[in-house]
Structure 1
């Protein structure tokens, strides 16, 4: 089942529409997004649990989520 904008917002909270579109375009599932978000926010704990490093769609989402916002710091 394809991910919707509501799925993205449910996991990440309010974010830029462009980022939502990029995330949906990966073809990942909401579960993939939740796992990627967990890796971005708490990778040390997941590594300590012995979890394998992200791969496939989860790794692609991690890369997208870890990109600095283009507007960040511009005031």
Structure 2
């Protein structure tokens, strides 16, 4: 079942249309999206519990969500040398 806008926003909160489309295009399930968000926010804890690394779709979602987070954060310029 393809993720809907409602599915994505129920897990992530408000996100833009492009992000929703990218997430839906992975073919991931709602459970996989939830798992990706858990990994993104708690990877050290999960690895400490010796959980197996996320499956390919979950890993793709993690990459996508990390990229989205980076796009939303302002880039700090390097100080002049």
**TM superposition score normalised by structure 2:** 0.83
Q: Which residue in 1 is equivalent to 2:39?
A: 39
Say which SS state the counterpart of residue 60 (structure 1) adopts: helix
Q: Which residue in 1 is equivalent to 2:29?
A: 29
| Cα deviation 1:2-60 (Å, max 9, x = unaligned) | 11111000000111111111000111000000000000011011111111111210001
Instruction: Please give the alpha-carbon distance, in whole angstroms, between the structure 1 residues aligned to 2:42 and 2:73.
Output: 22
Larger radius of gyration: 2
Say which SS state the counterpart of residue 52 (structure 2) adopts: coil
Deviates more, 1:49-58 or 1:27-36: 49-58
Q: CA RMSD in A?
A: 1.4
**TM superposition score normalised by structure 1:** 0.89
State the aligned residue count: 73
Q: Which residue in 2 is equivalent to 1:2?
A: 2
Q: Which residue in 1 is equivalent to 2:20?
A: 20
**Gaps in structure 1 of 5+ consecutive residues:** none
Question: Greater share of helix residues, 1 or 2?
Answer: 2
